[in-house]
Amino acid sequence: METIKGGYFGKLLRVNLDDHTCRTEDIPEKILLDYIGGRGLGSKILFDEVPGKADALGPENKLIFATGPLTGINAPTTSRYAIVAKSPLTGTVGGCSSGGHFGIDLKSTGYDVLIIEGVSIKPCYLAIVDGKVEIKDAANLWGKDAHETTDILMKETDPKAGIACIGPSGEHKQMIAAIMNEKNHAAGRGGLGAVMGSKNLKAVVVSGNNKTPISDKDVVDRAIKQWRTFVGEAPLTKDVLKEYGTPALVKAINHDGSFPSYNFQEGVFNDAESISGETFKELYFVKRQPCAHCPIACARVTATPEREGKGPEFETIWSFGASCGVNDLEKIIHANYNCNEYGIDTISAGNTVACAMEMSEKGYFPEPVMNQIKKDIGRDLKFGDADAIVILSALIGKNEGFGKELSLGSARLAEKYGHPELAMHVKGLELPAYDPRGFHGMSLTLSTNNRGGCHLRSYLVSTEAISTPFAINRFESKGKAGLAKLYQDLTTTIDSMVACLFTSFALNPELYAKLVGSVMGIEMDGNVLLKTGERIWTIEKLFNLREGKSRQDDTLPDRVLNQPFSSGLSKGHKIKFDELLDEYYQIRGWTKEGIPTAEKLAELGLINESSFL
């Protein structure tokens, strides 16, 4: 086994909130070699330490903050961090990645990983500042939003610290609660903010002076320079994302007739121009706000006549916009600000409002619920109600009125009132802004995603919609299963480094492997890196199988599978889903029921982890 010479301190901090004790532990080198860091290391720890069928909001669940070998080396887009826990929304492996500078600040404490376990009797926050670890009283912070909490803690601790916290949504243990860092960066998907709230942990504050060790500075500097060159020259990272940010995608996806509108009933939103990246830039853009050491600078500081904040991103513009039939960009921005302040996942929130709009229009809510809605917004809830998305997003955050119902997420809401078919989700996680009826490769990556309906774990839209790094027929099935596996394995390693997914618009597996290997001081190539990604993906799959998930969960909503669009450029196309899924399982070395074979598990070194099968 090779010896790691850089990239890690080799230390994790374990914090037990039951008795407010902490201890430092060594991280075995083999674990780092096999799982890299970030998402991979977090998923391995989760699998090993959280028992099967544990209550996601109970004391057995653990909240794992993890950095990667690239964190703190000043390479482009490597300021991110990962958070892993069992998701209360989906019951699957839950994991998020978030930008800003929190990841670098966490690494600067001298720890690669932070594991939080148990439950504090009283509200508290964790401070790791200048080498000192303290669990402090947070009574004065409970009830504060994410912005207020951050401001208070910066004064109490270190004005330059990285701060990750929950807002009221997390305190109420809402299924769609996010963890916010630096106020507006969200680890949003899967309700991990509720896990933090269930532990009575309001915030984590990190600051230190430790520098990430590297094996050979000259070699690493050359690899970083190569990364910067490629990221700086790729059209999407050089021009499009820099100019318009992620809202640049609105018109492109709408043009393809695959911009889910009115709760996935249509694929074209006729008012897309009013919520486009161009309109966004013209009317509300203030300045770019890059994450630390990021040359792309896709994030935006924005302002309306009433408020200022950050965002919204493309997915938020879609979820509160086209999905809800809303064409008022200013109201979408205000709903986004509400979610950032209260600590709410915007994709799940907007999707759930859209689901509620359809249920309301079809008369599926009982009279007491309809009366509550009228009390909250002053009228019946219908598609296109711009004021409603602002009111309801705030009510979710306050856990009041109909907001309590919406905080369940769309799957639980629709199930509760007898119409589960109207919730557009996979494994309980609401789908993103790319309708699979127009992107057949994405139908596979969304359905098989270990954390549910998320695009960020395999962004096959890059080929199917924006021809990067090559163009492919978006309605074609041939070759999509292999591409799905490739993109999933690669994205898994990117999340484990921890780098930004947008680098995949400019880099390939060999370039990723070159930098990671040079930092660690080991030999690595693209094939080794992808095999590591496959190992991580598979242990996440094993976690889900242990939780009772099966082939029946690797699917899409009936509306998406069986109701082709009647208009637009994706009109009439139906996904050959079962064929795609069978081929995908075969390529992965899994059975037709989606269970990894003994041969595949042996190849990946996961025989011991599969003993429950």
**Run of H or E residues at 345:** none
Tell me the sheet residues that pair with 82.
66, 97
- pLDDT tens digit sequence for 355-412: 999 999 999 999 999 999 999 999 999 999 999 999 999 999 999 999 999 999 999 9
Structural domains of the chain ordered from first start: 241-429 (1.10.569.10)
pLDDT given for residue 238 in this prediction:
85
421 by Cβ neighbours in 10 Å (0-12 / 13-18 / 19+) ranks as exposed
Mean pLDDT of 328-350: 98
pTM attached to this predicted model: 0.98
Residues with Cβ within 8 Å of 290's Cβ and at least 6 positions away in sequence, in order, are 296, 297, 298, 299
Mean pLDDT of 273-293: 94
Closest to 8 measured CA to CA, from 96, 67, 85: 67
- pLDDT tens digit sequence for 117-149: 999 999 999 999 999 999 999 999 999 999 999
Mean pLDDT of 275-280: 96
Closest to 205 measured CA to CA, from 96, 102, 100: 102
Tell me the two tokens of residue 273: 């121009």
Please, what sign has the CA dihedral across residues 83, 313, 171, 208? positive
Share of the chain above pLDDT 70, in %: 100
Mean pLDDT of 143-169: 97
CB crowding 533-559: b at 16 or more within 10 Å, else e:
bbbbbbbbbbbbbbbebebebbbbbeb
Q: What is the mean pLDDT of the chain?
A: 96
pLDDT given for residue 1 in this prediction:
66
Residue with tokens 């040359």: 295
pLDDT given for residue 242 in this prediction:
86
- Three-state SS at 383: coil
- Three-state SS at 187: strand
CA distance 264 to 476: 21
Tell me the two tokens of residue 66: 């993890």
Closest to 461 measured CA to CA, from 181, 252, 184, 211: 252
CA 29, 35, 40, 44: dihedral to nearest 10 degrees?
-70
CA distance 468 to 508: 12
- The length of the chain in residues reads 613
Residue 453 has pLDDT above 80, yes or no: yes
Mean pLDDT of 18-42: 98
CA distance 10 to 262: 49
Backbone angles phi, psi at 334, to 5 degrees: -65, -40
- Is 240 or 37 the better-scoring residue by pLDDT? 37
CA distance 572 to 570: 6
Residues with Cβ within 8 Å of 155's Cβ and at least 6 positions away in sequence, in order, are none
Edge to edge, what strands does the sheet with 11-16 contain? 21-26, 11-16, 113-117, 63-66, 81-86, 93-98
Mean pLDDT of 262-282: 97
Residue 436 has pLDDT above 90, yes or no: yes
Mean pLDDT of 74-81: 94
Tell me the two tokens of residue 51: 């028992």
Residue with tokens 């979610």: 339
At residue 400, what is the residue type? E
Backbone angles phi, psi at 165, to 5 degrees: -150, 170
Residue 470 has pLDDT above 90, yes or no: no
pLDDT given for residue 174 in this prediction:
98
